[in-house]
Amino acid sequence: MPKARKIKILFVYSHLQSFVRRDLEMLKRHFAVKELKITTFKNPLNIFRLFIEIIRVDVVYTWFASTIAFFSVLFSMCLRKKSLIVVGGYDVVYIPEIDYGKLKSSFGRLQVKFVLNHASKILPFSNYAKKRVLSITKKAKVCMIPLACDTHKFRPSSKQKENLAITVCVVKENNIKRKGLKTFIESAKLLPKVKFAIIGPHEDNSINYLRKISPQNVEFTGYITDEELVRWYQRAKVYCQLSYEEGEGAGGALGEAMACECIPVVSEKAVALRETVDNCGFYVPYGNAGATAKAISQAINSSATLGEKARKRMLENFSIKKRETQLVKIVEDLLARH
């Protein structure tokens, strides 16, 4: 009996964030995957390269309803290929209070709506993201698949947790509001005996402002390696995600921290975080340093079993195996109907 032809996928991306890389690795285990990195379309050759590569494959897989996704979907339609677009963050919102989201401009809205309307399948990574997609257009062919966390890489150590609260993000001006960094620092002022750390690279001069308003118990790490990040998670008793807006939490730092048995303290405002945390942590009003400090203190004084519960939730609901199985089925079903 002849061997079935292996499905060919073009995986197009601009940056290989950890959650994007995980999808790439999953798909490579089952299909013939060609990677194509495109960071700009100012060079017309990139548009031509994308078109030529789509000719050679069965499916185009792209993260976010971006300009890359726009051309991926457009060319897929012209060439009668299938397109899968993962969405759910900056691409499907506009929040004027923090000047955040691709839907801010009329061009951005048109671009996003085209992608959502015409992709073979839209893959939002949270129920919150799914609602956002359907609020933009009811025509989208939607299948929600939660993101995954590498619970083997991100796991607790045998050492006792420290009285340490951390948050992880790129330090830049628009993250001060969106990620609640000022609230995190103001909470540290109310808990001088607890160590705090803001972990992540410094992208602009906003680090100078944050250092200026920070007490002595706040540390700024700057860029660190993945190995160092795991050690920070393993040390910290508490992980804070005090955001105004998030598309989800499981596939990023929140999920990684929970997998390392950190107890989460998260903002009520970023409703998508509830899908990750559920009843494994504490919820606080956005921007309320007093309530945040109180929750961090409660988490610090909580039993280790709450951290164990957080890891169990990641293992049961956000495993790589679970997302991989769902992605493979989506791809195979698409081509089965082709």
Question: What pLDDT does 18 receive?
Answer: 87
CA 105 to chain centre: 23
- Report pLDDT digits (tens) over 129-179: 999 999 999 999 999 999 999 999 999 999 999 999 999 999 999 899 999
- Report pLDDT digits (tens) over 168-225: 999 999 899 999 999 999 999 999 999 999 999 999 999 999 999 999 999 999 999 9
Answer yes or no: is pLDDT of 311 > 60: yes
Question: What pLDDT does 4 receive?
Answer: 56
To which residue do tokens 């495993």 refer?
Answer: 319
Q: Report, as an integer, the average pLDDT of 16-21.
A: 90
- Report pLDDT digits (tens) over 102-118: 998 999 999 999 999 99
Q: Where are the domains of the chain?
A: 8-148+320-336, 162-317
Question: What pLDDT does 75 receive?
Answer: 97
To which residue do tokens 């499905």 refer?
Answer: 7
> Model confidence at 5, in pLDDT bands (50, 70, 90)?
low
Instruction: Copy the structure tokens of residue 59.
Output: 């499916």
Question: What pLDDT does 167 receive?
Answer: 98
Answer yes or no: is pLDDT of 2 > 60: no
Question: What pLDDT does 21 receive?
Answer: 93
By CB neighbour count within 10 A (0-12 exposed, 13-18 middle, 19+ buried), where does 305 fall? exposed
Within 10 angstroms of residue 96's Cβ, the number of other Cβ atoms is: 8
**Residue 262 and residue 236 in contact, taking contact as beta carbons nearer than 8 Å:** yes
Which residues, 6 or more positions from 337, have their beta carbon under 8 angstroms from its beta carbon? none
**Residue 135 and residue 207 in contact, taking contact as beta carbons nearer than 8 Å:** no
Domains 8-148+320-336 and 162-317 share a fold: yes
**pLDDT-above-70 percentage for the chain:** 98
What pTM was computed for the model? 0.91
CA 153 to chain centre: 17
> Model confidence at 248, in pLDDT bands (50, 70, 90)?
confident
Q: Kindly report the CATH number that applies to the domain delimited by 8-148+320-336.
A: 3.40.50.2000
Question: H-type helices in 56-179, by residue range?
Answer: 67-79, 106-118, 127-136, 173-178
Of 335, 274, 327, 328, the closest CA to residue 145 belongs to 327
Which residues, 6 or more positions from 35, have their beta carbon under 8 angstroms from its beta carbon? 11, 13, 24
- Across all residues in the chain, what is the average pLDDT? 94
Answer yes or no: is pLDDT of 42 > 90: no
Question: What pLDDT does 188 receive?
Answer: 98
Query: Could you tell me how many residues make up the chain?
Result: 338
The Cα–Cα gap between 163 and 234 comes to: 12
- Could you say which architecture CATH assigns to the domain 162-317? 3-Layer(aba) Sandwich (3.40)
DSSP assignment of 207-232 equals HHHHHHH--TTEEEEES--HHHHHHH
Strand, coil or helix: 264: strand
Answer yes or no: is pLDDT of 1 > 70: no
Instruction: Copy the structure tokens of residue 219.
Output: 């540390």
